[in-house]
Homo-oligomer: A and B are copies of this chain.
């Protein structure tokens, strides 16, 4: 399908673009009243995420409001552990939970590696959304990273210290590697299924990569994302861009840029020109505005956007984004200010 707007994909290939493409992590979500209406109809989050028509509708909602350059399929990073049989559910006001979190060795050795068809509702949502978008903008598919999925499967709730997950790595490293391997194999199948269903690019969210030391990161997170990249390429999808986002792992940006991925997410705790230096032009960079900027007055947002665009400079390969996802208490009007500012400050003519 011919894309009418391919800025995002061209930036990922580090081609010069007439302006910087922009999309926002969690751009479809609770900050939008039209999302909250569909969410209320669905009753619960999992019904919304697993009903293709509803997932398609909320995926496209932000594009109707703002001139964004990419859509990202509405789903959750924990669909794979759910398909493995852990039973994902959501409690109002709390994070995600599993009915059967990992608590013993046998559970890990018994865990199945789901096929893409075991997550057919995601494939259907992507096909439907891709057909509905009809080439308007690229559609991004995604998954959580093996390490990030492991933390949720082991902690089963929020953690400040990741005591259980890290204790698991340190006490039973072989078992941890077995679990990380199974997750990697599942993610390869899952992301290939998403590409075959119509995703133009796939992003791996390593939300908790930054809580590890650089040595542990390499051993327990990076190595498995590398496996996924190699697996997708070996299966014949080398042309589909893969973006890694290890939030907070700025000390590992160089290593991340050497994995053969096409783009890296960059949070706001590093100047984006420092990230450019560390990654040596090997990858496109996606970021890096502090999401809390959206709590600021319009002119502050405008200047902060300009600062990121100017700091990146005239090199190709920048995709504007926040350094983390949208929050429910943010205002849609502020997103409009941000998107306008990106278009204004990055226009090359």
Contacts and interface: CB of A to CB of B under 8 A. Distances in A.
A265 to B, nearest CB: 15
B271 A214 contact: yes
A295 interface: yes
Given A171-B297, A269-B214, A292 B161 contact: yes
Interface residues of A, number: 34
Interface in A238-282: 248-251, 268-271, 274
A328 to B, nearest CB: 10
Q: Which of A167, A271, A295 has the most CB of B within 10 A?
A: A295
Contacts of A269: 210-214, 248-249, 251
21 contacts: A161-B327, A162-B292, A163-B292, A166-B292, A167-B292, A167-B296, A170-B293, A171-B296, A210-B269, A212-B269, A212-B290, A213-B269, A214-B269, A214-B270, A214-B271, A216-B290, A248-B269, A250-B250, A250-B251, A251-B269, A251-B270
Given A161-B327, A214-B271, 20 more contacts: A161-B291, A163-B292, A166-B290, A166-B295, A166-B296, A170-B292, A170-B296, A170-B300, A171-B296, A211-B269, A212-B269, A212-B290, A213-B268, A213-B269, A214-B269, A248-B248, A248-B269, A250-B250, A251-B270, A251-B274
